[in-house]
Structures are given as C-alpha cells and as structure tokens.
Chain A
Amino acid sequence: MSNFNDYYNYMTNGYNNDFYNNQNNFDNNTFQNTFLNMDNNPKLYSPNEGFTKGNMYENLYYGYKNYKPMPIIANSEKESLLNQIQMYKFAMNDLALYLDINPKNSSLIKLYNDYLTKSKQLINNYEKLYGPLCNDVLMNTSNWSWNNAPWPWESDK
C-alpha cells in the first residue's frame, strides 16, 4: 500500500453497510469513520463538520443550550478558498493533539498526511492568486507582497 488511495480501498472493503448508510451527509465522513472505527479509534467528523463545530471528535462534542454551530459563509472566491485552508488546518491541528499523546496511531497519521497534502495544494492555489499566507515562500521581487492588506483581523476580507 504505497499511497493513501490504496489504503482507502483496502480499508473500506470490509466496512459495515449500516454504518455507511447512516453517514451520507459529508463526503469524507464515511471513509474516515469506517476505517477509524475498525481500529477502535475515536469517531471523527469530516473536516467540514469538525471545523464548523470546532471539534473533530464525535465523542467529545456537546453543545450549549439550543445553539447550533454557525454555518461558515464565504463572501468571495478568495474567502471561500481561505476557509477551506482554515478547515484543513483545523482538522490537522485537532488530529495532532490526539497524536501527541497517541503517537503510534498509523491510521490517524495517514489521515493527517492526507489533510496536509490537501491543504498544501489549496495554499499553493491561494498564494498564486492572492499573495503569501506565510513568509516562507518565494516572494515576488518587484513588490514585497507580504504586507498587502487585508490582515486577518480586518473584517473587510
């Protein structure tokens, strides 16, 4: 199993159909939950649902009163791309906290690598279109684009 897709195909051959049928709201959810459950792993939300909730772990989530997590709405293509980057970075961060104290969990490390690969592609796209998100990339030599607005705390993104 040299790549992630092989791993995916291998691991999903034996999944539980009932479980699969109950999980059709989020594209990535099924596969993650399925193969993670086989290892007695924590049940994970998809990056999208986890990011919206602020929590990747189903067993740890509990809401406050009747409040529902607020949908994340982008007002532009740029914001939408940034939100996807934030989403994968969030998922990676939450996996990392678990892996810090469960460092031998291969399936979770593979998932971490998968999210990292996806986030890198998105960051690359974003930076080509809108300038650097971090000053560890090659800079345009005619203009120091790092200090281009907006800054993260400015609402007029």
Chain B
Amino acid sequence: MWKYEKMTQYPINIKKKDLKMARYLIEQYGGANGELAAAWRYLNQRYTMPDNKGKALLTDIGTEELSHVEMISAMIYQLTKNASIEELKQAGMDLHYAAHGMDLYPTDVNGVPFTVAYFASTGDPIADLSEDMAAEQKARAVYENLIDLTTDPDVIGPLLYLRQREIVHFNRFKELYDEYVKKYKKK
C-alpha cells in the first residue's frame, strides 16, 4: 500500500511558459526510458527477487520513481499552464490538444502512447537487474539531452536533480547485481 504526501520530492516552481520544452519532457513521462516505465519496471520485478535486499531495493526505488512521475508531470503542467491556442499551434502541441485538451497524457516525445513493452521481466534477477541498470543509464542520457534543450534555470534545476537520481539508482542496482552474480552464478 502507498501513502500520498502533499509535496514533490524536489521543488518544482516554473514561472515561464515553454510549450516546446513541455513537449520534450513528455518523453520522460511516457517514453521508453521515462519515469512511468521505471516505476512499473521495478515494482513489477520486485515480487520474485531472491532475497529481502532485492525486494526492499526494488520497492523503494520503484516508489521513488512514482514521485519522479509526479515531478515530470508537475513540470509539464506548469510549462503549459494558460497556453493559448495560438501558442499551442506554434509549439506543435495542437495535436496533443486535439486528443487530450490540456490534460496530461503519458506518451513519448512523438506522441506514441505509453506501453509496458518498454520494460521486461525474465524471471531471472540477474537479467532483470542488468535491464534496470541500463534503464537508469538511458534515462540519465535523456536527461542530459533535455538539459541541452533549455536555458530556464527553473527547468534545469529539477532535471539536474533527476539526472543524479539515475546515477544513484544505477549504482545501487549494480551493487546488488554484483552480489547476486557472486551468490547465484559462481558456485
């Protein structure tokens, strides 16, 4: 069971409207290496981890990813707030508007809806954890691409923060991966 706390994990206070940046950020909401895929990847894989360390780590990182879904969503919401139809058209967000109005909707940057095909589960904790490590590195790379696409400090701050989280998660997964390789594959 989850508890909801009325705060983002890191403050999101974006003052400037930027529809193009909102469009790019949707990639980390509903894209292949996005936060929604991350949350579901780990929360889905946790049930069959071979020990309590794995169950705890995947539960806790999966839970943290849910808070990152909220951070990215808040950023998209604030970047698009009070946009006019003309502004939506100029930024190419009129297509999103046609289907979803000003609602958020998890797609990748090209508007392809989120799919669970973005993650795997194999029944093998070592295979699953290597996928998780790759996912964190890919998300880090995408955050760097996104940082390159903006000059707004209100956007860069949370993106730098989220990029660091990918780095920490990668290392925790790697430590567990190394332990499992020793424990289960070298007998």
- Which residues in A have some Cβ–Cβ distance to B below 8 Å? 51, 53-57, 60-65, 67, 69-70, 72, 75, 79, 82-83, 85-86, 89-90, 93-94, 96-98, 100-101, 103, 132-136, 151-153, 155, 157
Q: Which residues of B contact A62 (CB under 8 A)?
A: 167
Q: Give B29 Cβ to nearest chain A Cβ, in Å.
A: 13
B161 nearest in chain A by CB position: A54
CA distance in complex: A135, B74 (Å): 21
Interface 9-residue window, one of B18-26, B119-127, B169-177 = B169-177
Q: With A69-B160, A134-B4 as given contacts, are A55 and B168 in contact (CB-CB < 8 Å)?
A: yes
Q: Give A134 Cβ to nearest chain B Cβ, in Å.
A: 5
- State whether B70 touches A60 (Cβ < 8 A): no
**Interchain Cβ contacts within 8 Å, total number:** 116
- State whether B5 touches A60 (Cβ < 8 A): no
Q: With A53-B164, A57-B168, A69-B161 as given contacts, are A133 and B6 in contact (CB-CB < 8 Å)?
A: yes
Q: Give A24 Cβ to nearest chain B Cβ, in Å.
A: 24
Q: With A60-B167, A85-B7 as given contacts, are A101 and B176 in contact (CB-CB < 8 Å)?
A: yes
Known: A83-B11, A132-B6, A153-B74. 13 other contacts (CB 8 A): A54-B161, A55-B167, A56-B168, A61-B164, A69-B161, A75-B13, A82-B11, A85-B7, A100-B53, A101-B179, A134-B6, A152-B8, A153-B8
- Say what secondary structure dominates the interface of chain B: helix
- Which residues in B have some Cβ–Cβ distance to A below 8 Å? 3-15, 52-53, 56-57, 60-61, 64, 70, 73-74, 77-78, 81, 144, 147, 153, 156-157, 160-165, 167-169, 171-172, 175-176, 179
